[in-house]
Structure 1
Amino acid sequence: MSVTTASQVSAQAIDGAHVRDLVAQAVAADSLAKQLHADAMRAVDRIAGDLIHELTEAQTAYFAEVDHSDELWAAVEIAEAALTPYSDLADDLERISHR
């Protein structure tokens, strides 16, 4: 049978306090990460919503014309190109939330 010394008990108490501190820090970091993720999703959704509105307006203008102009079609393509990175970012954020 081994005898536990006072210094060993003290070291174990310090280690226990350190572990509790690390756990508390991990919980706080996880909470912050979830909040940042939610903020990022809201920002991407807001920007993507605005870009979808612009795309819809460009498509409406193009298809409303009898003579479909290259200029109006270019506006549609530009709106689509502007939206693509935000769609990809939204997909990435969605994948992160399912980890």
Structure 2
Amino acid sequence: MKADATGITSSIAGSRSSLRGNLRRFIGGFVKDWTRTTWDILNIIAHGNIVMAERLDRTRVGGKGVDLPCCGVFELEDGKIHMWRDYFDLATYTRALAANP
């Protein structure tokens, strides 16, 4: 599977972006200060062209650590990601940045 998302990403916080260029700008703005990230896949299920992945994104932003529970839903078309929806609580992310030394 080639990760070539052309669809939509959204979060519970309400951000929404469509089309490849907008998607790149949205993600780029969000991750620009990240110095390291790992994705722990907790559960993954698939049915037909739908894949759902529950994960824990472990991110370093400068010297601060953030563990962000997420759920990604991917719709595949011709072996590529056609639609991507990512669900997370943005307040969890911002609280972790504010609280960590």
Per the normalisation by structure 1, the TM-score is 0.23
| Structure 1 or 2: more helix by fraction | 1
Q: Which has the larger radius of gyration?
A: 1
> TM-score, normalised on structure 2?
0.23
